[in-house]
């Protein structure tokens, strides 16, 4: 004796089990629709994939039921849940497209900023290298010119000034000997105050510079290389004795035999 009064169709029982499994899946999909602000693109893509798979399986279940003349318990509640998912699906697709577009733009912006930072860093590095090269070249040029000036000064002062001072010192000894022999001395006569031209004042300044140069043998800072050479050639015509500037006189040189000088 059977519990059921009518025979049980195995196909109906199997199909109803599949339908109930689909209903459980539908309830899950309705519950987890990821349209909130906290939902990620991955969550929405996963939901859409699951919904597409559900629709395919649920549609196949209905088709099979129709072919086998089996009535499925399609209630209004089941339809409402399905409609809710169908409405959410296109909205979710749009959200995925927008989010992906924003992500692409963000990645592009970050890449542009990275490239700009690298270019700025490269520009800064090249500018620093050029500045270092420029300063190095300037230092080398200053060193080269300084060496040239020192060599020129050394060559100019080594021979003319050394020989001139030695010769003038010998001349001075001879002059003092001669003066003592003939019985006269050199007198320093004060000059009266006479109005003088600018050229005369410039000459006085030049003689003062000559005396300072002969005293300390330091090159005047306001002279170029060419001007210094001319200045040295002029300065060797003088010498300092008893803090007075003396100059060799050409006529006295001829008359006294390398003994002629006069005070400046």
Residue with the larger pLDDT of the pair 211 and 3: 211
Burial classification of residue 253, based on how many CB atoms lie within 10 Å of its CB (0-12 exposed, 13-18 middle, 19 or more buried) = middle
Q: What is the DSSP string of 80-96?
A: HHHHHHHHHHHHHHHHH
pLDDT of the residue at 4:
46
Pairing of strands 261-263, 244-248: antiparallel
- pTM value > 0.75: no
- 5's tokens: 């009064």
Residues 6 or more apart whose CB falls under 8 angstroms from that of 91 comprise 35
pLDDT of the residue at 186:
44
Residue with the larger pLDDT of the pair 10 and 101: 101
Edge-to-edge, what's the strand order for the sheet holding 244-248? 238-241, 244-248, 261-263
Cα distances from 16 to residues 7, 10, 87, in angstroms, run 16, 10, 26
pLDDT in tens, 168-207: 555 554 555 554 554 544 444 455 566 778 888 888 888 9
pLDDT of the residue at 187:
42
C-beta neighbour count of 96 within 10 angstroms: 16
Distance CA 252, CA 248 (A): 8
pLDDT of the residue at 256:
44
pLDDT in tens, 133-157: 999 998 998 888 888 777 776 666 5
Q: How far is CA 73 from the centre of its chain?
A: 77
pLDDT in tens, 11-60: 888 888 999 999 999 999 999 988 777 778 899 999 999 999 999 999 99
Asked if residue 255 has pLDDT above 70, the reply is no
Residue with the larger pLDDT of the pair 140 and 257: 140
Distance CA 34, CA 92 (A): 8
- 109's tokens: 């912006």
């Amino acid at each position: 004796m059977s519990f059921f009064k009518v025979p049980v169709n195995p196909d109906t029982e199997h199909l109803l089990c599949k339908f109930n499994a689909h209903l459980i899946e539908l309830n899950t999909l309705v519950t987890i629709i990821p349209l909130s602000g906290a939902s990620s693109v991955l969550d929405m893509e996963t939901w859409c994939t699951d919904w597409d798979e559900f629709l395919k399986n649920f549609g196949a279940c209905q088709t099979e039921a129709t072919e086998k003349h089996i009535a499925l318990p399609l209630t209004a509640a089941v339809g409402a849940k399905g409609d809710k998912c169908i409405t959410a699906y296109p909205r979710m697709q749009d959200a995925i497209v927008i989010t992906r577009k924003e992500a692409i733009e963000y990645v592009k912006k970050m890449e542009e900023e990275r490239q700009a930072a690298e270019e700025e860093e490269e520009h800064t590095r090249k500018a620093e290298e050029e500045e270092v090269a420029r300063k190095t070249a300037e230092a080398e040029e200053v060193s080269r010119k300084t060496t040239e000036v020192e060599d020129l000064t050394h060559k100019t002062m080594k021979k003319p000034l050394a020989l001139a001072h030695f010769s003038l010192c010998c001349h001075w000894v001879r002059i003092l000997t001669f003066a003592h022999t003939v019985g006269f001395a050199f007198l320093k006569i004060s000059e009266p105050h006479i109005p003088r031209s600018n050229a005369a004042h410039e000459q006085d300044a030049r003689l003062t510079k000559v005396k300072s140069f002969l005293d300390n043998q330091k090159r005047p800072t306001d002279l170029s290389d060419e001007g210094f050479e001319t200045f040295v050639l002029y300065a060797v015509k003088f010498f300092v004795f008893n803090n007075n500037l003396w100059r060799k006189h050409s006529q006295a040189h001829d008359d006294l035999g390398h003994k002629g000088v006069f005070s400046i």
